Amino acid sequence: MITSSFAFLDGIGPKAEQKFHDFGIKHWDDFLSAKTVSGISAKRKAYYGRQLGQAKSALCSGDVSFFAERFSSAEMWRLYEHFKEECCFLDVEVDSKGNIIVLTLFDRFESRTFVKRVNLERELLETEIKKYKILVTYNGSAFDIPKIEKQFGLKITVPHIDLKGLCQRLGFHGGLKSIEQQLGISRPPHLRGSAVDLWKSFWASGDREWLELLVAYNEADAVNLYQLIEKCVVLMNKCIPIKIK
C-alpha cells in the first residue's frame, strides 16, 4: 500500500525504505509517531515528517500528481492500489507502417475501442484519456504513448504505470503474450495471432468479421493488463522476485 511507502521522500530509495520496515517503521504513522528513527537525524526526521503530512493530504484529496512527480517510473506501481478505481488500461495495435489502427481503453469494467477510419480521432482520444488519473500499459513508455503523441499530436500528461519494467523486476521477460503465459493469464486461442495480419485481411476482403476479430484481439490485450497488474502488485507487496529460467 502507498501508506507503507517512503520511496517518494527526498533521498529515500527502495533500500532505505526496506531499512525503515526492518526497524518497524512500516507505515507513515509509524514514522510520524516515532521519537527517533535509526540513521535519520532529528532535523531530517522533521523534514520527512512535513513531507509525509503533505502526502497524507494529497492522498485524502486524491491528488495523484503529488506522488507521480515524486516517484520514479520504476516505483509508480505503488499508486495502483489506492487509485485503481480511476485507472485505465491502454493498448494499441499498429499496421505494417507503424501507424495506430486500433486503440482500446479499459477501466476494469468496460472497454472503449477506437478504430482507424471509424472513430480513431484526436479529440475523442484526448477527452477519454483525460477522464482517468493513471494509465497502465505494457511497454507503453517506449511504444504506445510515443505512438499516440506523434500520430495525433497529443501530449499525454496522465501519470503512467508501465508494466514491462515491473515484470522484469519480478523475473518475467518477453512480450505481453509471453508474460501472460508465464503468469497463467489466459486468452482465447483465436486471439493470439497478428494484429497486422488481421488488419490486412479486413482491408483486402472488406469482411467485417476480420475487423471484429481485430477489435476483440486488442480488447483482450487491454483486459489482460488489468489481470497482469493485479498479479504483479501482489508479488511486489510480498517481495517475492521470481526467477524464470
Q: Are 115 and 101 in contact (CB under 8 A)?
A: yes
- Beta-strand ranges (E) seen in the chain are 87-94, 100-106, 111-115, 134-137, 160-162
Specify the pLDDT at position 106.
Answer: 97
In this prediction, residue 200 carries a pLDDT of 60
Question: At which residue does the C-alpha cell 478505481 appear?
Answer: 85
> Alpha carbon of 55 to those of 29, 69, 89, 98, 185: distances in Å?
12, 12, 25, 41, 35
CATH code 3.30.420.10 region(s) in the chain = 82-238
Express each pLDDT in 97-121 by its tens digit.
899 999 999 999 999 999 988 899 9
Taking the C-alpha atoms of residue 37 and residue 25, their distance in angstroms, rounded to an integer, is 8
What pLDDT sits at residue 187?
78
CATH topology of domain 82-238: Nucleotidyltransferase; domain 5 (3.30.420)
Q: Topology of 2-61 in CATH? A: DNA polymerase; domain 1 (1.10.150)
Residues of the chain below pLDDT 50: 240-245
The C-alpha atoms of residue 8 and residue 94 are separated, in whole angstroms, by 36
> pTM above the 0.95 mark?
no
The pLDDT of residue 15: 86
Contact assessment for residue 102 and residue 92, using Cβ atoms and an 8 Å cutoff: yes
pLDDT at residue 202, rounded to an integer: 56
Cell reading at 3 = 501508506
Query: CATH 1.10.150 in the chain, residues?
Result: 2-61
